[in-house]
A and B are shown apart, each in its own frame.
Chain A
Amino acid sequence: MSLTSAHSVVAPSATSKRVAGTIIVAYALISIVPLLWIFATSFKTPPDSIAYPPKILFQPSVEGYCNLFTTRTRQTPEYINSLGPATGLCDETVRKRNMVIAGPSNFMPRFVNSLIIAFGSTFCAVFLGTLSAYGFSRFKVPLADDLLFFILSTRMMPPIAVAIPIYLMYRELGLSDTALGMILLYTAVNVSLAVWLLKGFIDEIPREYEEAAMIDGYTRLQAFWRTVLPQATTGIAATAIFCLIFAWNEYAFAALLTSGTAQTAPPFIPTIIGEGGQDWPAVAAGTTIFLVPILVFTILLRKQLLRGITFGAVRK
């Protein structure tokens, strides 16, 4: 050991680096297998997806995606032959199974619900969060620590425990199964994260900038708007992505409080079934489409990830 560390006393030796690298790469590859499997399954035909042994090499097919977006009915071969030529790739694929496309499935509306609710609640949470974070960061607020802790503690309750009275309250107010109800709920859940993260980001912006602006005759509000906000853009963007990911991934509230018109994708995807059981290629297709935005965001966020997942407790 003393030999290898002769140059720099503390730098890890080449051997230890190589061993560490090998183990990490092996772990990364194994841990990514389930995700690759989801992706692969989405391009399999239903028989291929349940083959034994599991097929690694297979003829790719769009059947999973076709089944995800459509509902189909079984028809006799005679009837299918009597129809004109297939109008598209999906039509052709489905006809090979003696089926005819009957109409669009519920996946698109559920996906759109997810988009509306996630973006709506993120916007509200970040808007409220930025204002509060600035308030806590710059002004002497009485009981500031207690209020901040109160904001955080709302996050400790098990979602099901919160869902019971919310369910009753929304029933009274007519907010059950509405996008507005879900946006309000997700905003309330996310605002605690937004306040804590943004307070950290705004604390890092020197007060001198605003003070200089105010000496130049800006009001406090103008100073906030013209000097603090532009400098907090990175922090606000990172916070927004974290809120977006939470709202996008949320399942418990969505499963208990929505059933139809406002249902989001997470409670919907597990209910996709085909003939004689779960249609795994279609589920995999839905899962793939659902996960891709999050993958992109994770890569964008990797520098801020640590801060986000610890509510700003660890800043590096």
Chain B
Amino acid sequence: MLNRTADSVARATPEPLARKVRGISDKGLAWLFISPTILLLLAINIFPLFWAIYLSFTNFRANRPNEVAKNLGLANYKRILADQDIWIAMQTTAHFVFWTILLQTLIGFTLAWLIDRKFRGHAFWTTIILVPMMLSPAVVGNFWRFLYEPQIGLFAYAVSFVTGIPATEISMLSNVSLAPWSIIIVDTWMWTPYVMLICLAGLRSIPEYIYEAAEVDRASNWRQFWSITLPMALPFIMLAVLFRGIENFKMFDMVNLLTGGGPGSTTEVASITLKRQAFESWRTGYSSAFAIILFVAVFGLANIYVKALNKVKQR
């Protein structure tokens, strides 16, 4: 009863006043609700970003805060683009991103395609498969060092058991040609479930009647796979590739603990170079410039990719 009275009062009064009767205006409330988040992001993300942009034009060193930083203009950027080590790090990153995404997409899609047969107990086994991706890459990556130990490690033992190569000779982390694969294996182990889960959603989104129609048309299984399954799941596969691509481009924790960029700099991906420059050599200005270049690269590539993704979706 009371509510109805309040409402009739509110309805009788002119609009602006009615809103006051009902509390804060919608517009006020909208800003009240959104602004704390925006303010927090401005303080913790955007302000530091601008600071980094400023630093990237100087020769500031964080371990000598009292020294006056000199303005260098674009010198840092020019030096980075001419720096051999940076280009090698970018190649290492590209190698890592390419192989992890290729393996994860192939294995992940295959697993999803198999799970989609809905055999008995598929829900349980899917949950088991998903476990590795929820764990901390740092803590689990650290433990893989033990699994990779040449003689006593389980991985070396398993490989030598299968291939017959003596277990003492399988030193994944200290062999220059094997070390890049050691990080690819762990990343693939962890994140294949991620790609699998997204692909599974894609496969389940394909309506059954399309297959029924294909079956009526006597399309072979092979043909159905290439003309229905794959194209219709493609936007999902691309989405998985986008997320994994961004994540692996920034990859730091697992690699830092597993190899620390070594041996030498064979597994030194961009984030490791950045950490070495910023927190070991303390070249803050220089590393800020590198950070900005990396950010622009991720942002630019992601934008181009999203445009391509939207085109595929619209088809």
Contacts and interface: CB of A to CB of B under 8 A. Distances in A.
A160 interface: yes
Interface residues of A, number: 109
Given A53-B167, A267-B138, 11 more contacts: A50-B149, A53-B157, A151-B41, A158-B291, A191-B41, A195-B37, A255-B253, A265-B139, A287-B143, A313-B239, A314-B201
Contact of B34 (A131, A187, A222): A131
A20 B294 CA distance: 41
A314 B111 contact: no
A108 interface: no
A189 to B, nearest CB: 8
Given A10-B211, A162-B48, A54 B154 contact: yes
A135 B212 CA distance: 44
Contact of B134 (A18, A154, A245, A255): A245
Most central of B4, B7, B131, B287 by chain A CB within 10 Å: B131
Nearest to A252: B252
Contact of B274 (A161, A167, A287): A161
B146 A278 contact: yes
Interface of A: 1, 5, 9-10, 12, 16-18, 20-21, 23-25, 27-28, 31-35, 37-38, 41, 49-54, 128-129, 131-132, 134-136, 138-141, 147, 150-151, 153-154, 156-169, 171, 184-185, 187-188, 191-192, 195, 214-222, 245, 248-252, 255-256, 265-267, 269-270, 278, 280, 283-284, 287, 290-291, 294-295, 297-299, 302, 305-306, 309-310, 313-314, 316
Chain B's interface size range is: 35 or more
B139 A287 contact: yes
Contact residues of A: prevailing secondary structure: helix
Contacts of B249: 158
Contacts of B271: 158-160, 252
17 contacts: A10-B208, A17-B117, A24-B122, A31-B192, A32-B131, A35-B132, A157-B250, A159-B250, A162-B48, A167-B279, A169-B51, A184-B40, A270-B139, A284-B143, A287-B139, A287-B142, A298-B131
Top 10 closest A-B pairs, CB basis? A219-B23, A161-B291, A251-B138, A165-B48, A249-B136, A217-B3, A188-B44, A21-B119, A135-B33, A139-B30
Contacts of B122: 21, 24
B111 A24 contact: yes
Interface stretch (B70-78, B81-89, B295-303): B295-303
Contact of A147 (B22, B38, B142, B291): B38
Interface of B: 2-7, 10, 22-24, 26-27, 29-34, 36-38, 40-41, 43-49, 51-52, 55, 62, 65, 111, 114-115, 117-122, 125-140, 142-147, 149, 151-154, 157, 167, 189, 192-194, 197-198, 201, 204, 208, 211-212, 215-216, 221, 236, 239, 243, 246, 249-250, 252-253, 256-257, 270-271, 274-275, 278-279, 284, 287-288, 291-292, 294-295, 298-299, 302
Nearest to B209: A10
Contacts of B147: 34, 37
A306 B201 contact: yes
Contact residues of B: prevailing secondary structure: helix
B294 A161 contact: yes
B146 A314 contact: no
A156 B37 contact: no
B119 A18 contact: yes
A309 B152 CA distance: 36
Contacts of A21: 117, 119-122, 125
Contacts of A191: 37, 40-41
Nearest to A299: B127
Contacts of B139: 249, 251, 265-266, 269-270, 287, 290-291
Contacts of A37: 147, 154
Most central of A1, A34, A187, A287 by chain B CB within 10 Å: A34
